[in-house]
């Protein structure tokens, strides 16, 4: 076996196609099980999944791998990714696993690993596991093979925990909330939390069939929720992705609100009451320049990382910051969890809505964004368009043009064969021209 398995967020690919096969999942389970086995009597792993059909195959294969190295497996069924971070710690497991391809279509799947502290694995840990995959893993002796057990109340445990993050003196009585669960992992827990806190709940994307996760719904396609908010006269819409680790909101007018505005709401409130650690928000290079200016005016620092919630979390842990996230909707609040949590972030915004007594359109317009445009360019397998001299020259020219007028970001996707372009500028014609020239250069080399 050769090649690299781990990307920016675990292992991901098309289901039943290398590397997302039952064989590789079994070997991964064995390698991770061997890596995390400690010198104690019992070794535990919790495994959750979203609603993809291929989750059954990968769950069984991982279970075989883990038990072959002496790990006892606790199968949680469909639960959000943040529930895995929480339950890994609360159930005193050595490792947690989430089977999900997040916002990708149902034909894809992925495997994310969490350490005993509930945080995703570091690059160093993943590199060691990769090496074990290549070298092979010694199985446990027959008398030491692990057992597997299904935990029926995993979702309920997370529901109760999520409710504890909402201020005890507040209720959602009188609020009408549209919740879009993307036919994914939160299809039961998210509506339950909102209803139990008092909201009138209108559900979308809560009928998974194994094939419809993220299909025409969820955080990547919030238009259906937006239309429903307007039609129902709802106060707000909450759109989760397939594994519920990210959230996009919709105000009462049907306007879609991205993660930058959500971070602005939470950071502003936390800073005002002295709760924002080191008066700093951690976000990625994708976050809007308008957010940075808004926070700076309040004396709050915006610390940027590379793209990926894992890198946000790493920076948060390094600097002991308690709030971070991504424009795409990952919201990480280490006071509450170890990874992005779309539902708990939504609860923070709902608390603000109740306390401030203003419409969502007012609350969620914290700043005026600098015009920002994104372009994705697909390239052929094996190609390296960013290495082409013509592309390098085009990037250098674009950076010079935007130097005093905006920002430019050019990067490869960590999960797909795409070059992602992002540019910001107050001058829309300049913005369009820069992106058009770069796109032409990259497509010529792709």
Which domains, from first to last, does the chain contain? 11-153 (3.40.120.10), 163-256 (3.40.120.10), 259-341+351-363 (3.40.120.10), 372-445 (3.30.310.50)
202, β-bridge pairs: 178
Please give the pLDDT value at position 5: 80
Return the pLDDT at 122.
86
Structure tokens at 15: 């289901």
Contact of 100 with 58, CB cutoff 8 Å? no
- pLDDT for residue 3: 52
Radius of gyration of the chain (CA): 22
Q: In DSSP terms, which residues pair with 247 in a beta bridge? A: 240
What pLDDT is recorded for position 39? 56
Sheet holding 256-257, edge to edge: 200-204, 176-180, 236-240, 247-250, 256-257
**Which residues are within 8 A (CB) of 389 and not within 5 positions of it... i.e. 6 or more apart?**
none
- Phi-psi sector, 69: left (phi>0), alpha (psi -120 to 50), beta: alpha
Per-residue confidence (pLDDT) for residue 406, from 0 to 100: 87
**Preceding omega of 5 cis (within 30 degrees of 0):** no
Q: Can you give the three-state secondary structure of 178-245, one letter per residue?
A: EEECCCCCCCCHHHHHHHHCCCEEEEECCCCCCCCCCCCCCCCCCHHHHHHHHHHCCCEEEEECCCCC
Q: Residue count of the chain, please give it.
A: 446
Among candidate residues 81, 132, 74, the one with its CA nearest the CA of residue 310: 81
Q: What is the DSSP string of 343-370?
A: HHHHHHHHHHHHHH---HHHHT--SPPP
pTM across the whole model: 0.91
Does 102 qualify as catalytic in the annotation? yes
**Within the chain, what is the greatest distance between any pair of CA atoms?**
70
Give the whole-angstrom CA distance, residue 80 versus residue 246. 10
Print pLDDT tens along the chain (446 aa): 445 788 777 899 999 999 999 999 999 999 999 999 865 567 999 999 999 999 999 999 999 999 999 999 999 999 999 999 999 999 999 999 999 999 999 999 999 999 999 999 988 899 999 999 989 999 999 999 999 999 999 999 999 999 999 999 999 999 999 999 999 999 999 999 999 999 999 999 999 999 999 999 999 999 999 999 999 999 999 999 999 999 999 999 999 999 999 999 999 999 999 999 999 999 999 999 999 999 999 999 999 999 888 889 999 999 999 999 999 999 999 999 999 999 999 999 999 999 999 999 999 999 999 999 999 999 988 889 999 999 999 999 999 999 877 899 998 887 688 999 999 999 999 999 999 999 999 999 87
Q: What is the pLDDT of residue 310?
A: 85
Contact present, 79 and 48 (Cβ < 8 Å): yes
Q: Looking at residue 38, what is its pLDDT? A: 60
pLDDT given at position 238: 98
pLDDT, residue 9, reads: 77
**Cα gap 429→312, rounded to integer Å:** 32
- Look at the alpha carbons of 105, 116, 132, 146 in this order and tell me if their dihedral is positive or negative: negative
At residue 181, what are phi and psi to the nearest 5 degrees?
-100, 10
Residue-level pLDDT at 1? 42
CA–CA separation, 214 and 221 (whole Å): 8
Instruction: Measure the CA–CA gap between 186 and 248, rounded to whole angstroms.
Output: 14
If one counts every other C-beta atom within 10 angstroms of the C-beta of residue 147, the result is 11
What values do phi and psi take at 422, rounded to 5? -135, 130
Provide the pLDDT for residue 123.
86
Neighbouring residues of 142: CB distance < 8 A, sequence distance ≥ 6: none
* From 54, 102, 287, 328, the catalytic residue: 102
The pLDDT of residue 2 is: 44
User: For residue 305, what are the contacts with CB-CB under 8 A and spacing of at least 6?
Assistant: 282, 283, 284, 285, 311, 312, 314, 315
């Amino acid at each position: 076996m050769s090649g690299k398995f781990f990307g920016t967020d675990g292992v991901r690919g098309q289901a039943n196609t290398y590397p997302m096969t039952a064989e590789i999942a079994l070997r991964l389970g064995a390698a991770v099980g061997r890596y995390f086995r400690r010198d104690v009597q019992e070794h535990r792993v919790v495994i959750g999944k979203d609603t993809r059909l291929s989750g059954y195959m990968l769950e069984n294969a991982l279970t075989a791998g883990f038990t072959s190295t002496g790990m006892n497996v606790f199968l949680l069924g469909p639960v959000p990714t943040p529930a895995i971070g929480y339950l890994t710690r609360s159930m005193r497991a050595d490792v947690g696993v989430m089977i999900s391809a997040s916002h990708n279509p149902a034909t894809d799947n992925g495997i994310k690993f969490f350490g005993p502290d509930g945080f995703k694995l570091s690059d160093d840990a993943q590199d060691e596991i990769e090496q074990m995959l290549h070298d092979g893993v010694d199985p446990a002796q027959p008398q030491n093979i692990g057992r597997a057990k299904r935990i029926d109340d995993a979702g309920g445990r997370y529901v109760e925990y999520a409710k504890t993050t909402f201020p005890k003196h507040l209720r959602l009585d009188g609020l009408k909330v549209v919740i879009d669960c993307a036919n994914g992992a939160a299809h039961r827990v998210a509506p339950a939390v909102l209803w139990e806190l008092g909201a009138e709940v209108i559900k979308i994307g809560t009928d998974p069939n194994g094939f419809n996760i993220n299909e025409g719904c969820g955080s990547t396609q919030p238009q259906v929720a937006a239309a429903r908010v307007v039609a129902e006269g709802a106060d707000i819409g909450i759109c989760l992705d397939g594994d519920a680790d990210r959230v996009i909101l919709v105000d009462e007018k049907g306007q879609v609100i991205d993660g930058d505005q959500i971070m602005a709401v939470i950071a502003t409130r936390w800073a005002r009451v002295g709760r924002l650690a080191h008066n700093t928000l951690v976000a990625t290079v994708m976050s809007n320049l308008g957010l940075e200016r808004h926070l700076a005016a309040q004396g709050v620092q915006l610390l940027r990382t590379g793209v990926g919630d894992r890198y946000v979390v790493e920076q948060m842990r390094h600097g002991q910051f308690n709030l971070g996230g991504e424009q795409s909707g990952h919201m990480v609040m280490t006071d509450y969890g170890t990874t992005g949590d779309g539902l708990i972030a939504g609860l923070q915004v709902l608390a603000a809505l109740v306390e401030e007594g203003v419409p969502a359109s007012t609350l969620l317009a914290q700043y005026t964004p600098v015009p920002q445009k994104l372009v994705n360019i697909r390239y052929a397998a094996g190609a390296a368009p960013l290495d082409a001299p013509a592309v390098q020259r085009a990037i250098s020219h674009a950076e010079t043009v935007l130097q005093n007028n905006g920002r430019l970001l050019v990067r490869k996707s960590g999960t797909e064969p795409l070059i992602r372009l992002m540019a910001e500028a107050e001058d829309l014609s300049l913005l369009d021209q820069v992106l058009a020239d770069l796109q032409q250069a990259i497509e010529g080399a792709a």
